[in-house]
Amino acid sequence: MKNGASIRCYLGLGSNLSSPTQQLAEAVSAIEQLPSTTLAAVSPVYQSDPVGPEGQPDYINTVVAIDTLLAPLELLDHTQTIELEQGRVRDIRWGPRTLDIDLLLYGEEVISSERLTVPHYQLTVRNFVLLPLQDIAPNLQLPTGESVKELAANCSKAGISLLEGVTLTR
């Protein structure tokens, strides 16, 4: 664990199998239970076209903000455990999945290792990440200096829609 103040992190969650909205709700609940971690915000829920192989169902997506004392790789280990507990199988790149949790941002850190790249390498081009991220952190600046608000304003809005009335927390 890291010593000192907690770090604000953002996680992108997506699912397109086995009741995707329920998968995300269960994932948010599991994230709330992580050690030394507090759930700070949950974005509205979006439906988006799949990225990857043809013929898969649309994705349901959200972004959560957490404050944590966990180190980046500890947090990654915990999120991968949540994925596995919810039936995640890693067999097809960008294939359908019960749950995908991406560590988008870890404070203002830039991390490049074999297991983890932060900011997430596709953060600036994925509308299903940028739009929900903007919903909960509109004034956020990425470690690269880019503005989430500007990136979201300039990203394509094709293939994505807000799911009105869907909430993932009690």
Please identify every residue annotated as catalytic. Answer: 88, 97, 100, 102
Beta bridge partners of 103: 11
H-helix or E-strand spanning residue 135: helix 127-136
Q: What are the structure tokens assigned to 2, written together?
A: 């890291």
Question: Which residue, among 18, 47, 13, 5, has the nearest Cα to 169 in the 3D structure?
Answer: 13
Q: Which residues contact 72 (CB under 8 A, 6 or more apart)?
A: 103, 106, 109, 111, 116, 118
Three-state DSSP at 8 gives strand
Residues 125/155, Cβ–Cβ less than 8 Å = yes
**Residue 114: Cβ-neighbour burial (10 angstroms; 0-12, 13-18, 19+):** exposed
Q: Which two tokens stand for residue 4?
A: 């000192």
Nearest to 8 by CA among 117, 74, 147, 103: 103
